[in-house]
Structure 1
């Protein structure tokens, strides 16, 4: 499980659940950059946009943890 912090939330990514549907990259390409390390750049979108995108992850690989 990888963690990426943004204000009072943390984006969690579980690689074992990811089906690579690409919703994250298509919806927020400035945030999700496969091939880079780290590949999630939470500073490139609002907290609200990130929460909205994570809610659309079809596999549940991306989740939000409230601080």
Structure 2
């Protein structure tokens, strides 16, 4: 499930993204890029909940749904690395 313009872990971390690890997926978030569209929290509140710490729980939903939700992020503030692609 490689995506166009996909960054690797080092690129994401160097650009200031914070990593939220799950068993099958690593979710990365940049508060500096986020435009607060709310697509993530409306689409998948079990994974993305701004009232919770940490606000992203990568294992709280289906991986495919999480990846589709992250792909909806208009700003690019959310990114992911599917661990099966890493092997």
Report the count of equivalent residues: 67
In the TM superposition, what are the counterparts of 1:1-67 in structure 2 within 5 Å? 1-67=17-83
Unmatched tracts of structure 1, length 5 or more: none
Question: What is the TM-score with the length of structure 2 in the denominator?
Answer: 0.70
TM-score by length of 1: 0.89
Instruction: Decide which structure has greater strand share.
Output: 1
Contact kept, 8 Å, 1:12 with 1:64, in 2: the verdict is: yes
Which stretch shifts more, 2-11 or 43-52? 2-11
Which 5+ residue runs of structure 2 have no aligned equivalent? 1-16
- Alpha-carbon shift at residue 46 of structure 1 (Å): 0.9
Cα RMSD for the two superposed structures: 1.2
Flag the structure with larger Rg.
2
Q: Secondary structure at the match of 2:28?
A: strand
With a CA cutoff of 8 Å and minimum separation of 6, indicate the structure with the bigger relative contact order: 1
Contact 2:26 2:58 in 1 (8 A): no
